[in-house]
Amino acid sequence: MDQTQIDALRAEPVRAFGHLIDGQHLGASDGGTMDVISPIDGTVLTTVAAGTQSDMEAAISSARTAFEDGRWSGQPPAARKKVLLKWADLIEAHALELAVLGVRDNGTEIAMALKAEPGSAAGTIRYYAEALDKVYGEIAPTADDVLGLIHKEPVGVVGAIIPWNFPLMIGAWKLGPALAMGNSVVVKPSETASLSLMRMCELALEAGLPPGVLNAVTGEGAVVGQAMGLSMDVDVLVFTGSGATGRRLMEYAARSNMKRVYLELGGKSPNIIFADAPNLDEAAKVAAAGIFRNAGQVCVAGSRLLVERSIHDEFVSAVAKATDAMRVGDPLRVDTQIGAVNSQTQLDANLGFVETATNEGGQIITGGNRILQETGGYYMAPTIVTGVRPDATLAQKEVFGPILGVTPFNSEEEAITLANSTVYGLAGAAWTSNLSRAHRMVRGVRTGVMHINTYGGADGTVPLGGVGQSGNGSDKSLHALEKYINLKTAWIKL
């Protein structure tokens, strides 16, 4: 990764982005435009179209027409594979451009963004391209005079609402399997991070994806997101984001065509440190990275640190030391380890959580404040709060910022109880040298992903999905394909 190349891309003006509907780039309609504020310095980077209900309806209509006429759904698997593989190649070829554009838009540190965004997206698209012609129907074990067949068909039109923290990575988790199975898709990017995802959708057209198969509409969730949720012509809706929005989308589905809704709603993930952890120094460094990378704006972030009481003070000191060594700053510098908070609104919410934590008896060990304010950007010092009670706000509510709450425990049973004491269940971790304990923790902690002696890094071969109020359904792995197919039984009398 060359800093000179990054600086050159950073200096380029960013064009305004409109919608992508039926293969055409459309400018702002009656909704006008929205300013794109860069969290790096608080300046206006460019504009995107502020979509209207009519814009979303046009995109959905285009997707429906494309699906029904079979321009993609009727293509043989080998043809779909060829296009998706070319798309993955184009994403890789434009990786630095996409990464820099995304960082200017959402503030993720470039060293992380290059791998986690275009790198991950290309790998995901390629994974599902290679998988799509390995999906077979089934023959049922019926009587001799009957042939029972189970067909796997695309669902039709998929609506995908993508968050701002990793728009390319999470976008590919939805787009890859949906398109691989022959569906048409309408994407709604986050209003605070639309640019790189819109550019990636353009590359899909360059790769040969037929017009109308992939459409993208920018704008406010309360307008175009609602229009998507209430549409009678969207068959499946997939979303990653907040629980409040997820609830609204389920309500919209009930009020419209009862479309299937798959939600990944974040979490309050426990990172559990036992005294017999194989390497406490390594665990401390990983714990710091597990919450503070991307300024804590990670769905699976290990935001609750549960530490066995006998090593509590020692371990917290080690985490604080590792945290102090992490460089916060300009996310387009290759040596930056913690970038900017996505927006002023998110920064204000983070600081509000710190104030609440101290009011509820927590002690700030490090951080707790806005920094680098002279840049005009949205930066926050990584923050560690000890003495967090299990019922405290910081232990129960998802922050989505660089704030780590620490709670001690006395026994394995108490650790499991604490880990399961929230409404969430997305990810978790346990650090121990005891193999039996490790397996008990995997079984005992209610979560979709459970790490042992590590945190993060699970690749596309395994599913990511939550339990409880962390959502339903799974992204990643072959299991994600199940969201985008219908099963049809053929019962044939012989």
Residues assigned a catalytic role: 264
Q: CA-CA distance, 254 to 268, in Å (whole number)?
A: 28
- Residue 34 has which token pair? 């929205």
Q: Is 40 helix (H, G, I), strand (E, B) or coil?
A: coil
Q: Which residue has the tokens 């997939």?
A: 238
CA angle 27, 19, 231 (to 5 degrees): 125
* Terminal Cα-to-Cα distance of the chain (whole angstroms): 63
DSSP string, 75-137: S-HHHHHHHHHHHHHHHHHTHHHHHHHHHHHH---HHHHHIIIIIHHHHHHHHHHHHGGG---
Q: Sign of the CA dihedral 456, 459, 461, 465? A: positive
Residues whose CB is less than 8 angstroms from the CB of residue 23 and which lie 6 or more positions away in sequence, other chains included: 205, 210, 211, 212
Q: CA-CA distance, 110 to 268, in Å (whole number)?
A: 25
Q: Sign of the CA dihedral 319, 285, 301, 323? A: positive
Q: Go through 68-100 and write b for each residue having 16 or more CB atoms within 10 A of its CB, e for each that does not.
A: eeebbbebebeebbebbebbbebbbebbbebbb
264 with 471: CB under 8 angstroms?
yes
Residue 208 falls in which region: left (phi positive, over 0), alpha (psi -120 to 50) or beta = left
Q: CA-CA distance, 426 to 412, in Å (whole number)?
A: 20
9 with 105: CB under 8 angstroms?
no
Tell me how crowded residue 288 is: count the other CB atoms within 10 A of its CB: 26
- Tell me whether strands 138-140 and 146-154 are parallel, antiparallel or unpaired: antiparallel
